[in-house]
Amino acid sequence: MFALRGRLTAVASPDPHAPEGRYFVRSLYFDNVYDKALWDKINGVSKREKFRIRFYNGDTSHIRLEKKCKWDDLGSKQTAPLTPGQAAAIAQGDNAWLENAEHPLLRELYRKMLTEGIYPRSVVDYTREPFVYAPGNVRVTLDYDIRSGLCCEDFLSERCVTVPASSSIILEVKWDEYLPDIIKRAVALDGRQAGAFSKYAVCRAFG
């Protein structure tokens, strides 16, 4: 991480959304009683999706519902804003209001709660150091201090209890049309190869 941080600082720019160079991420992930999202990830299913609610740095004034889709090596994300009251209601199992929600992603969540049985399953916390590089719209992140929580109802609270889930440091590189060579060289480390890693799967080891 120290080597990567030094290289990325030299060639990329800090993310303007991280004025101190890093920020704290908390997510509430959804799954069903058969752990479909978990097993799709573990088994490497090429086409899969997952829902989560996310906010940053403990700031509950900006919460969003996200749907992440993966198709082989391509990924996409849809988002919808939530108020703290709405997020808390979903976490506590009050979802009837979603049926007539204005945003289509909220209505989709409601349908899949009914048809697929998904529900709030696990809290995932971590710290992220982000870097950006304009050509290719590249975003490079270093994620660490991954923690897990099982009490989903109070995930908006500072008193939400989480425990260390992994000592791993995760490098992620995302880009749009192409990945510039300067970034390829910056993130290449001896003895390291690209691979799959799921913070949600790691945190589900606790239940």
SS3 sequence of 87-153 = HHHHHCCCCHHHHHCCCHHHHHHHHHHHHCCCEEEEEEEEEEEEEEECCCCEEEEEEEEEEEECCHH
Confidence of residue 194 (pLDDT cuts 50, 70, 90): confident
Confidence of residue 205 (pLDDT cuts 50, 70, 90): confident
**Does 207 score more than 80 pLDDT?**
no
What are the residues facing 80 on neighbouring strands?
Answer: 65
Structure tokens, 13 = 């720019």
Condensed to tens digits (0 to 9), the pLDDT of residues 74-120 reads 888 999 999 999 999 999 999 999 999 999 999 999 999 999 999 99
pLDDT for res 165:
95
Ramachandran class of 21: left when φ > 0, alpha when ψ lies in -120 to 50, beta otherwise: left
Structure tokens, 175 = 């880009």
Residue with tokens 């160079």: 21
Q: Which CATH number do you get for residue 107?
A: 3.20.100.30
Condensed to tens digits (0 to 9), the pLDDT of residues 132-184 reads 999 999 999 999 999 999 888 899 998 899 999 999 999 999 999 899 999 99
**Does 206 score more than 80 pLDDT?**
no
- Sequence-distant (6+) residues with CB within 8 A of 61 are 84
Residues 117-154 as b/e (b if ≥16 CB within 10 A, e otherwise) read: ebebbbbbbbebbbbbbeeeebbbbbbebbbbbeebee
Number of domains in the chain: 1
Confidence of residue 2 (pLDDT cuts 50, 70, 90): very high
Structure tokens, 85 = 């009251």
Query: Which residues constitute the domain of residue 69?
Result: 2-206
Alpha-carbon 186 to chain mean position: 24
Average pLDDT over residues 27-56: 94
Average pLDDT over residues 3-27: 93
pLDDT for res 152:
85
3-state secondary structure (DSSP) of residue 154:
helix
d(CA 114, CA 43): 25
pLDDT for res 136:
93
Strands 163-166 and 138-149: what pairing?
A: antiparallel
Confidence of residue 188 (pLDDT cuts 50, 70, 90): very high
What are the residues facing 166 on neighbouring strands?
Answer: 146
pLDDT for res 191:
83
Condensed to tens digits (0 to 9), the pLDDT of residues 50-80 reads 999 999 999 999 999 999 998 887 888 999 9
Alpha-carbon 3 to chain mean position: 24
pLDDT for res 54:
97
d(CA 52, CA 11): 32
Condensed to tens digits (0 to 9), the pLDDT of residues 115-126 reads 999 999 999 999
